[in-house]
Structure 1
């Protein structure tokens, strides 16, 4: 494997890169809780079978066991945009499209978002949002997405893609047709409410009142 990023190789542009398939079960896409409400994305790769680079815990979180040994040549970590990026329809996406983790009521979403566009494309999801500084939440890729290796003229680089065979415009069009959570909530708010039970004083005609004579 040729180690290095494209920024360290002068004259290389995104259009020159290719990609190669990867064994998906050798990777873990993880979210690490940072501070009170932020999340950080990282990808772990199991290069050799043993020792394990991560372990699933009983509570559903993932323990980064690679921190307990010298993982050189055994595990790889991809911690930021130097290590991973987006690729759609066989080409690298433009730099303005970023990966971000967004917490929702029912879990976490890894989204591809262009700040100039309102529609985000969901790349991966997790059903839980438990925050633990010593353990990670594992995300599962959405249908159509897979991890691929960046390559140049047949040589593989230490960079992975979140890749989809469809174009970003096609993915945005599909995403825009799906009702969002806020849309569903606003729709529910507009549903007609059940009529209230009639008041004890409701009815036709005057209400008969008891007259008490005044006595000085």
Structure 2
């Protein structure tokens, strides 16, 4: 876990910015829908780490973030893939309320892009080419054009 310095305890916020120190300043948005009426935020110690959940009135849980371990003091919460902090604006002014927002489409797109990156990372930069049907060309002799029926790649 990463410990964080709770500057809000010692910082003079008067006249420069607002702060939200309890769950009233935060709520959940999923696919553009505000879930503040149907969900509440809670922190739970689960499996050796602190987890941030959004819990619905019916008891369904959405994992939003985790501390990645336990420690004494205030710990950073790492948001799960697809989650981000957002704010809304009204008539051109940014509102003071914070949201834990999730966009299903953006999350799926990020998963696909991550998988593509993983696959691309496995592709070697160069390949050796061997043509068994035309070995005379490989040896430098002149031959007539021939049809290639198989190509073998050896990864260096």
Q: TM-score, normalised by structure 1?
A: 0.43
Tell me the secondary structure at the aligned position of residue 138 of structure 1. coil
8 Å CA contact retained: 1:66, 1:75: no
- Which among 70, 73, 78 is matched to residue 140 of structure 1? 78
Greater strand share, structure number: 1
Corresponding position of 2:14:
72
2:40 aligned with 1:102: no
2:31 aligned with 1:93: no
Greater helix share, structure number: 2
State the distance in 2 between where 1:137 and 1:69 align: 19
- Equivalent pairs counted in the alignment come to 105
8 Å CA contact retained: 2:2, 2:67: no
State the distance in 2 between where 1:122 and 1:102 align: 11
Q: TM-score, normalised by structure 2?
A: 0.58
8 Å CA contact retained: 2:27, 2:36: no
Tell me the secondary structure at the aligned position of residue 82 of structure 1. helix
- CA deviation string 1:179-199 (max 9, x = no partner): xxxxxxxxxxxxxxxxxxxxx
State the distance in 2 between where 1:67 and 1:91 align: 32
Structure 2: tracts of 5 or more residues without a match: 106-156
- Which among 87, 105, 111 is matched to residue 53 of structure 2? 111
- CA deviation string 1:60-99 (max 9, x = no partner): 3212134334233566421234311111111211513111
Corresponding position of 1:120:
61
Corresponding position of 2:95:
157
Tell me the secondary structure at the aligned position of residue 24 of structure 2. coil
Structure 1: tracts of 5 or more residues without a match: 1-58, 168-216
State the distance in 2 between where 1:161 and 1:69 align: 23
8 Å CA contact retained: 1:150, 1:159: yes
State the structure with bigger RCO (CA 8 A, min sep 6), 1 or 2. 1
8 Å CA contact retained: 2:52, 2:65: yes
